[in-house]
Amino acid sequence: MEANLTAATLLGTARNMLVKQPLTRFIFREDQDIYYLKHNQLLATCEAQECNLRLVKPDGSFFWVHMTEIFTQADDGVPVFRMVFSDITERMRTEDELRIAAVAFSTQNGMVITDTKGIIMRVNLAFTRLTGYMPAEAIGKTMSLLHSGRHSLLFYQRMWQKLNDDGHWQGEIWNRRKCGQIYAEMLSITAVVSPERGVTHYVGNFSDITENKEVEAEIHRLAYYDVLTSLPNRRLLQDRIGQAVTATVRSGLFGALFFIDIDHFKTLNDTRGHDTGDQLLIEVAQRLSAMVRDGDTVSRQGGDEFVVLMENLGASTHEAIALAGRLGEKLRNAFEQPFTLKGNEYQCKISIGVSLFNSGDTVEDLFKHADLALYQAKNAGRNLVRFFDPAMQAELEQRSALEIELRKALQRQQLRLYYQLQVNSNGCPIGVEALLRWQHAQHGLVPPDDFIPLAEETGLIFPIGLWVLETACAQLAVWGDDVRTCELQIAVNVSARQFRQADFVAQVQQVLAVSGANPARLKLELTESMMLKDVANTIETMTAIKRLGVSFAMDDFGTGYSSLAYLAQLPLDQFKIDRSFVCNLPGNQNDETIAHTIIGMGRGLSMDVIAEGVETEAQRHFLEKHGCYAYQGYLISRPLPIDELEILLLNPAGHH
């Protein structure tokens, strides 16, 4: 055999070593049949033959060639066979990869190829089957064509970040078919990288796993939710209670567990059948769910027992008892409306046991306590709310009774205004502070600390606050006709909830108009902490009332955390030094410093300063020495009803 230099190079053998060696020695053993088939055809037809086969080098490696064998005769008639071959190893490798890709692309999984901008370039048949989009409908569009709307922008940003970092992303994703149906898929995206150009394409491979997700969801539902009502079951409730108890460590707020039992449910089952009983259970679940707040949990424990878990009921036991009691009554009252079961009305009542909890409780104890409280409610006659702790129950009942009585107090005209005199340094009356009292038929005079917080919680502060304002302004109108009293001011305390009413300015304006009182003689007292909750709205409301001619005093000044910047903005006329500082004057260096500072601030901000709780001449003397010339307190007068106050006013010698 003779060979040129290129052939020798391809075969990895020197030209002189190829002389008189047959080519078949270099043909890969498994491809020799291909060669002999073509060679025999050449002998039979004398026509050139072509084929692809592998040639082996001396080191055992092989390469693909495209070979053409030609038959000719030399001048002396000797037959000559010429083989022309070229290396096609790379082409064969590419064709193999294309064949493999073609097989992969025809898989049952959906496949999509996009460019670097996510624009679809090619899809397979499975893509169409799974998404409903024909190739013509998808090609040229971006992958957002399939977005379900269930994933946030952050989800996709993280997906692309991982693709950019690792060249691969895999995970579960919700997409939308052409028909609008949302389905779950397992998606794998791989970046196609060229050594020269970097990432050139992305290949996505996905399969529909909706059934798997639905099975998972069904398993989860059966494990954690009641089959009949779809409410959380005992297992899930216990988990949430555990989380709630842990949360109280951080928040410091109480929570409550309400055990609820349908009264006489067994009778309904026995007389109307279990299907009717099931219908009631479903409707009870819906009614309870409608009554609770977002974030609360309503659970069915089995049978006719339901549990409601409520969190964030207040930082103190007192506050938590009050709120839990109101919520319990709200749940019980929700069942005053009858149910309609199979066309017939059914009056359903419930009994409720309540157990408060905080960071020191366990889930097991909570269940026991609430269950015991429920037993007490049923034993006491049913259709009741009972607390586990007898002391809590007693406090709740006392507060409930007090609330009922307070609601009647206005109707029965049991509320009274007492007035504490305010004088200047000469002892001359300059005004009074109106102080609310409750003249209860059985309990006598109820101090405001016992009922004002309750009025705030229940909303009764709105009608009570309006009554106080109306009564004070009516008194101002009476005093306005007497030269001895026409210059006196009445200071009225305004609660935070009352002040935040949208129509509070209009209320003040109307009361002034109806009573005929001089607005300049009315002073509204606001607490320091109340003013600083919403400074912008506070200033707006105060400014509108100031336009009516009414003045403002800051009550309990020094007990909060006022900012000088805010104080300068507030349209105030007077600071009131709190009695907690005055009571230690003189002698207590800290309180002396605070009182002196408040007086100096008032002078610097062009405001009047008045001290409350003045009980001794030493206190009055200290205040006057440092520039405070207005006082109220037991040194001048205790709070008095109007008739006693007017006797005092007409007899100046009766006070300092």
User: So what's the pLDDT on residue 561?
Assistant: 52
| pLDDT value, residue 8 | 84
Q: Could you give the percent of the chain with pLDDT greater than 90?
A: 33
Q: Is 520 helix (H, G, I), strand (E, B) or coil?
A: helix
Burial 517-530 (b: 16+ CB within 10 A, else e): bbbebbbbbbbbeb
d(CA 340, CA 454): 37
The DSSP string of 439-461 is EETTTEEE-HHHHHHHHHHHTTH
Least confident of 7-11, 248-252, 555-559: 555-559
Handedness of CA 272, 276, 277, 283 (dihedral sign): negative
Q: What is the pLDDT of residue 380?
A: 79
Q: How many CB atoms lie within 10 A of CB 149?
A: 8
CA distance 88 to 50: 13
Tokens 């397979």 -> residue: 124
Of residues 264, 303, 258, 257, the one with CA closest to residue 381: 264
Mean pLDDT of the 458-476 span: 93
User: Could you give the CA distance from residue 248 to residue 239 in angstroms, rounded to a whole number?
Assistant: 15
Q: 654 falls in which pLDDT band (50, 70, 90)?
A: very low
Q: Are 28 and 54 in contact (CB under 8 A)?
A: yes
DSSP 343-379: TEEE---EEEEEEEE-TT--HHHHHHHHHHHHHHHHH
Q: How far apart are CA 444 and CA 434, in angstroms?
A: 19
pLDDT of residue 108: 78
**Cα 552 to Cα 505: distance, rounded to the nearest angstrom:** 13
The residue among 443 and 88 whose pLDDT is bigger is 88
Could you tell me the end-to-end alpha-carbon distance of the chain, in angstroms, rounded to an integer? 141
Residue 590: exposed, middle, or buried by beta-carbon count in 10 A (0-12, 13-18, 19+)?
A: exposed
pLDDT in tens, 236-245: 888 898 888 8
Tell the residue number behind the tokens 């079961």, with chain if given: 341
pLDDT tens for residues 362-390? 888 888 888 888 888 887 788 888 888 76
Domains in the chain (CATH in brackets) are: 5-89 (3.30.450.20), 106-213 (3.30.450.20), 227-388 (3.30.70.270), 412-654 (3.20.20.450)
Cα maximum dimension of the chain: 162
Buried-exposed string 552-581: b where 16+ CB fall within 10 A, e elsewhere: bbbbbbbeeebeeeebeebebebbbbbbeb
Sequence-separated (6 or more) residues with CB below 8 Å from residue 172? 184, 185, 186, 187, 209, 213
Phi, psi of 575 (to 5 degrees): -100, 145
Rounded distance, CA 203 to CA 111, Å? 7
pLDDT higher than threshold 70 for residue 101: no
Q: What would the DSSP string read from start to end of 289-326? A: HHHSPTT-EEEEEETTEEEEEE----SSHHHHHHHHHH
Q: Which of 141-150, 219-228, 354-363, 510-519 has the highest mean pLDDT?
A: 510-519
Joined together, the tokens standing for residue 309 give 């878990």
Question: When comparing pLDDT for 294 and 417, which is higher?
Answer: 417
